Amino acid sequence: MLQFCIFFYTYLEPLKHNTVIMNCLNKQQQTQIIASLVEGNSLRATARICNVAFNTALKLVPEIGAVCSDYQNRAFRNLSCKLIQYDGICRSCM
């Protein structure tokens, strides 16, 4: 969990320079929110646990997604995998 939070801050800093941030959560609060979400808590439960507004926790989610997307786009290239196993939500195409 701590490794993910360190990873998050490492890759988030360059992204923050392009946005205007009004009221910032400190790193401890961000870490607590991320840890709660990683553990599987809902956004509303996370907001209650971390003593922040629901919308505050919700606004952090796209930043987490951007950081994870950027990392995956750089790290998962030219892999020589023969078998890939994943756990996720599968949606059928209609």
List average pLDDT for each run of 10 residues in the chain, which is 94 residues long.
Answer: 59 53 76 92 94 92 89 88 74 51
Would you state the torsion angle of the CA atoms of residues 71, 28, 87, 12, taken in this order, to the nearest 10 degrees? Answer: -20
Tokens of 47: 């907001």
Please indicate, yes or no, if residue 66 is contained in any of the structural domains.
yes
Give the distance, in angstroms, between the CA of residue 17 and the centroid of all CA atoms in the same chain: 18
The predicted structure's pLDDT at residue 79: 85
Asked whether residue 80 is assigned to any structural domain, the reply reads: no
Instruction: Establish if 86 belongs to a structural domain.
Output: no
Judge whether 87 lies within some domain. Answer: no
pLDDT score at 24: 79
Confirm whether 39 is domain-assigned. Answer: yes
Give residue 42's pLDDT: 94
- The answer to whether residue 58 is domain-embedded is yes
Contact 54, 44 (CB under 8 A): yes
Q: Is residue 69 situated within a structural domain?
A: yes
Per the structure, the count of domains in the chain is 1
Residue ranges making up the domain that contains 31: 2-75
Residue 68 lies in a domain: yes
Tokens of 39: 């553990």
